């Protein structure tokens, strides 16, 4: 059994024994500092992105303990989890900026100036294909905002989705132990400040029309 896993578990659950065969596997398939655990009654494999390989054991212990909280539905707090949370929140500052696009740069600058006092540092920016279901994402591990190509035609909607993803960058997330909250009450309150009436209705109508056009194109 991996000693790091054993000590992380023992600190959280001293009255229990970890009987499952447990190991850590580093993978280049994950981006940034992503990680997950795959487990059964007899085995436990923590799959960490290769970026974790050079991170200190104290912070990795916090990562493992955070995953234990999710696995066993507990809310145990440890110093290592605190160190891990601090490290995770600093990741965007460490991520290299290698991706950009002039259209997305202009959108980011408009939104940054109007809603963030021009104080937000630009992340990686990229388009993500003609996706109608996922209009935008923010990857905390790589500090990357991805926007769907379908929004190129409408600057207001492009900026709205950009604003949403920039809020994710601003507020990051809240880890309760049991689950990760990405859309907090504070996030929702800030989202309502987007300065365009009925923007959600406009977005729905726009997507409906674009979906219809895409179906007609392939007939």
Whole-number pLDDT of residue 138: 93
pLDDT score for 206: 93
**CATH code of residue 81:** 3.30.2010
Q: What is the pLDDT, as a whole number, of residue 219? A: 41
In this structure, the answer to whether residues 122 and 156 fall within a common structural domain is: yes
Q: Which residues of the chain have pLDDT under 50?
A: 217-219
Can you give the pLDDT at residue 179? 60
Which pLDDT score is estimated for 176? 56
Residue 69 sits in the same domain as residue 113: no
pLDDT at res. 218: 44
Q: Are 35 and 117 found together in one domain? A: no
> Do residues 101 and 127 touch, judged by C-beta distance below 8 A?
yes
Looking at residue 69, its pLDDT comes to 93
Of 165, 90, 167, 99, give the one whose Cα is nearest residue 127.
99
pLDDT of residue 91: 80
In this structure, the answer to whether residues 85 and 134 fall within a common structural domain is no
Q: Which domain holds residue 120?
A: 102-217
Number of domains in the chain: 2
């Amino acid at each position: 059994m991996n000693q790091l896993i054993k000590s992380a578990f023992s600190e959280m659950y001293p009255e229990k024994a970890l009987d499952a065969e447990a190991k850590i596997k580093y993978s280049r398939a994950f981006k940034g500092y992503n990680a997950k655990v795959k487990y059964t009654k007899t085995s436990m494999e923590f799959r960490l992105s290769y970026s974790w390989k050079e991170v200190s054991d104290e912070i990795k212990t916090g990562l493992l303990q955070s995953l234990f909280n999710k696995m066993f539905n507990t809310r145990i707090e440890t110093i290592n989890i605190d160190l891990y949370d601090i490290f995770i929140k600093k990741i965007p500052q460490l991520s290299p900026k290698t991706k950009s696009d002039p259209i997305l740069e202009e959108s980011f600058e408009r939104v940054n100036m109007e809603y963030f006092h021009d104080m937000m540092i630009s992340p990686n920016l990229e388009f993500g294909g003609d996706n109608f279901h996922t209009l935008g994402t923010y990857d905390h591990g790589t500090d990357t905002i991805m926007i769907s190509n379908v929004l190129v035609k409408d600057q207001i909607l492009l900026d709205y989705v950009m604003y949403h993803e920039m809020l994710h960058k601003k507020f990051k997330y809240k880890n309760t132990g049991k689950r990760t909250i990405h859309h907090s009450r504070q996030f929702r309150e800030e989202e309502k400040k987007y300065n365009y009436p009925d923007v959600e209705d406009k977005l729905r109508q726009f997507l409906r029309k674009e979906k219809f056009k895409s179906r007609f194109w392939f007939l």
